[in-house]
Copies of this chain bind each other. A is one copy, B any other.
Amino acid sequence: MEREDTLPLLGEVFREFGFEGASLSIIHKQTGIGRGSLYHFFPSGKEEMAAAVLSNIDAWFGREVFKPLAESAEPEVAIDQMFTSVDAYFRSGKRICLVGAFALSDTRDRFAVALSTYFRRWLDALAAALCRVGFAPDRACSLAEEVVTGIQGAIILTRTQQDSVFFERSIERLRAATRIEKT
């Protein structure tokens, strides 16, 4: 096993137990990765692990979501695809957003830059795509915020109610809201 392979495993452990809660013994129990390997790949410890996981997540969203939004010749298709990708990634709200979870935890300060960048890139890419689709710049920004906050909130509600219908309804409502009325 090499460094890159550990990131998805570590990510799931951090999702389930949080940064503090993911003790080395829990990480080992859940992933099979031992202390030796962990400190070989991440010499400065847990903080480096979580930072690498966040960076890995950021790269995934960049590739699968932000880049298509920015570069697709058909922005309306990229936006629609974004909702589908997000629904799959978060498993209809059953899988939490690690960035959002860290934002509400005491680890926020530690990873402040990564958390801020993730959402900043998402807002900017989506607002730009909405502009290209024909929304006025102000409306595009506002809509982008509505979508990003709506998704994060939907994950929370789905979690507390243990019912992914809340996530799915939110996604469809936001998807519809981003479709511009053809006049």
- Whether the Cβ atoms of B166 and A157 lie closer than 8 Å is no
A83 at the interface (CB under 8 A from B): no
Q: Is the CB of A160 within 8 A of B17?
A: no
Contact (Cβ within 8 A) B156 A149: yes
B169–A100 contact, CB under 8 A?
no
Which of B20, B96, B112, B153 contacts A152, CB < 8 Å? B153
A156 touches B145 (CB 8 A): no
Question: What is the count of identical protomers in the complex?
Answer: 2
- Is the CB of A4 closer than 8 A to any CB of chain B? no
Interface residues on A, range: 35 or more
- Residues of B near A156 (CB, < 8 A) are 100, 103-104, 149, 152-153
- Check A161 against B105 for contact (C-beta < 8 Å): no
A70 within 8 A of B: no
Tell me how far the C-beta of A146 lies from the nearest C-beta in chain B, rounded to whole angstroms.
Answer: 7
Looking at the assembled complex, report how far the CB atom of A91 sits from the nearest CB atom of chain B, in whole angstroms.
Answer: 15
A149 contact from B21, B103, B142, B154, Cβ within 8 A = B154
Q: Which residues of B contact A179 (CB under 8 A)?
A: none
A115 to B159, CA, bound (A): 9
Within the assembled complex, what's the spacing in Å between the Cα atoms of A154 and B170?
A: 15
Pairs A-B, 9 closest by C-beta atoms: A149-B153, A153-B153, A152-B153, A101-B104, A115-B160, A103-B159, A21-B106, A152-B156, A17-B106
- 10 A-B residue pairings within 8 Å (CB atoms): A17-B106, A21-B105, A100-B156, A108-B160, A115-B159, A115-B160, A145-B157, A152-B152, A153-B154, A153-B156
